[in-house]
């Protein structure tokens, strides 16, 4: 809905017709700015913090898993969203391959880890930010400029901050979700969208740790214990999750938990759930032969299980099964089967998840049906774009979310470039 503002307000505006305001200086917003810079389109980034991309600098343990080795088809297939094909246009235009080349062109090479994850060769997320900033004009970035509102006018938009209002033909909203609010990410884009009559989906945790009263009370002795290469299965979900796991003072964490957590929130609405984890990285097909060999040795159950897992986990299995015998060879066939089941499907009850503010990534945001998948432009509001995590687009750990941020940011920038009247240049004087 268009709004006529009082004439007196015009005195406070920076008039930037045929220009672009980018709200948010994270990876999505910075990628959009790079596209605009390439096409010589005037833009201004409004960043609420005193530095850019605070969340980016923390991601991946400050190492930053930038993207991955997946094909576009494989990337889309990996996403846990009914509308995942929405991203096809963005990813085919600017996907993992193009992201790698973009960074390489700016002097940053990537290293492949675990067969599909790409990290900067410097092992520093700061290197990714420096690459994103290399071609940008620092004079086009306004720090500590928290946007209060965005209003639609007959000839564009007014973007309101505490100290200044900006009038522009195009606005790109790249504010992120409300995950990790200490980085300044508070989901402001939802508020802007609601005021403009744009449908939104409430945020919910998508990449976070899991809380368990059972671990907190019964398995206190496991706090700090890690399992490398575990497999996690959860009730009601066919998919298996693989990776490293950590027992914490509140429950479970680690890469495999962050990966699986996006499935948990809707399941918990019906009550607590069980996840089942393998306590060893030894393949299950090798277990029986290993146990058969151990039966010929005069070893205790704990000593035998230490061939597969840590002593603390071995003792936990024995306690959980209420085994009273000391030696492996004393166990019955049923007890040996129970032992195997506990080793490869140890049950942990999950009660809840942290609040959305403590998640690394959240689901929800701008409803996808509001956006044009070929541009990220709001269908009902020409010139208004939403990109990155403020949209209801997210993926698992492994470089998926940064790829989505870069891809949608690039798509929005190119969309504006196609629309832009290249014969109009006077607005560049405003920067």
In 3D, which of 206, 135, 183 has the Cα closest to residue 365? 206
Q: How far apart are CA 303 and CA 244, in angstroms?
A: 23
Q: How far apart are CA 341 and CA 346, in angstroms?
A: 7
Per-residue pLDDT tens digits for 287-311: 999 999 999 898 999 999 999 999 9
pTM over 0.85: yes
Per-residue pLDDT tens digits for 402-415: 999 999 999 999 99
Task: Spell out the domains of the chain, with CATH numbers in brackets.
Answer: 7-205+361-430 (3.50.50.60), 210-350 (no CATH)
Q: Establish how many alpha carbons lie within 13 A of residue 60's alpha carbon, considering only the half-sphere containing its beta carbon.
A: 24
The pair of structure tokens assigned to 327 is 């030696």
Helices 333-344 and 287-295 cross at an angle (nearest 10°) of 140
The residue count for the chain: 431
CA angle 195, 196, 202 (to 5 degrees): 65
Per-residue pLDDT tens digits for 124-151: 999 999 999 999 999 999 999 999 999 9
Rg of the chain over all Cα atoms, to the nearest angstrom: 26
Is pLDDT at 424 greater than 50 in this prediction? Answer: no
């Amino acid at each position: 809905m268009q709004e006529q503002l009082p004439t007196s307000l015009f005195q406070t505006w920076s008039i930037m017709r045929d220009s672009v305001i980018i709200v948010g200086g994270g990876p999505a917003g910075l990628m959009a700015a790079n596209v605009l810079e390439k096409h010589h389109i005037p833009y201004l980034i409004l960043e609420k913090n005193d530095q850019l991309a605070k969340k980016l600098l923390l991601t991946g343990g400050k190492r930053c898993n930038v993207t991955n080795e997946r094909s576009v088809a494989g990337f889309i297939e990996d996403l846990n969203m009914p509308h995942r094909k929405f991203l096809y246009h963005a990813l085919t235009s600017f996907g993992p391959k193009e992201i790698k080349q973009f960074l390489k062109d700016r002097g940053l090479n990537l290293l492949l880890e675990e067969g599909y994850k790409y990290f900067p060769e410097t092992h520093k997320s700061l290197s990714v930010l420096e690459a994103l900033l290399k071609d940008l004009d620092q004079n086009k970035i306004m720090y500590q400029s928290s946007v209060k509102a965005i209003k639609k006018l007959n000839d564009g938009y007014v973007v309101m901050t505490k100290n200044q209002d900006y009038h522009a033909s195009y606005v790109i909203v790249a504010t992120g979700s409300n995950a990790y609010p200490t980085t300044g990410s508070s989901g402001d884009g939802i508020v802007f969208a609601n005021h403009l009559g744009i449908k939104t989906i409430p945020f919910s945790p998508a990449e976070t740790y899991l809380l368990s009263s059972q671990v907190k009370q019964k398995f206190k002795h496991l706090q700090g214990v890690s399992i490398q290469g575990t497999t996690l299965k959860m009730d009601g979900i066919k998919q298996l999750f693989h990776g490293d796991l950590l027992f914490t003072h509140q429950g479970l964490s680690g890469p495999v938990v962050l990966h699986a957590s996006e499935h948990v929130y809707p399941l918990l609405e019906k009550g607590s759930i069980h996840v089942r984890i393998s306590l060893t990285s030894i393949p299950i097909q090798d277990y029986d032969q290993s146990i058969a060999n151990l039966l010929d040795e005069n070893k205790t159950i704990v000593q035998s299980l230490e061939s597969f897992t840590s002593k603390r986990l071995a003792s936990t299995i024995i306690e959980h099964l209420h085994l009273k015998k000391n030696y492996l060879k004393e166990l019955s066939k049923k007890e040996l089967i129970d032992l195997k089941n506990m080793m490869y499907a140890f049950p942990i009850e999950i009660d809840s998840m942290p609040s959305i503010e403590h998640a690394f990534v959240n689901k929800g945001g701008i409803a996808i049906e509001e956006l044009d998948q070929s541009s990220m432009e709001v269908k009902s509001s020409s010139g208004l774009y939403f990109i990155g995590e403020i949209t209801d687009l997210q993926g698992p750990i492994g470089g998926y979310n940064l790829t989505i941020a870069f891809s949608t940011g690039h798509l929005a920038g190119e969309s504006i470039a196609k629309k832009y009247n290249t014969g109009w240049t006077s607005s560049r004087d405003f920067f």
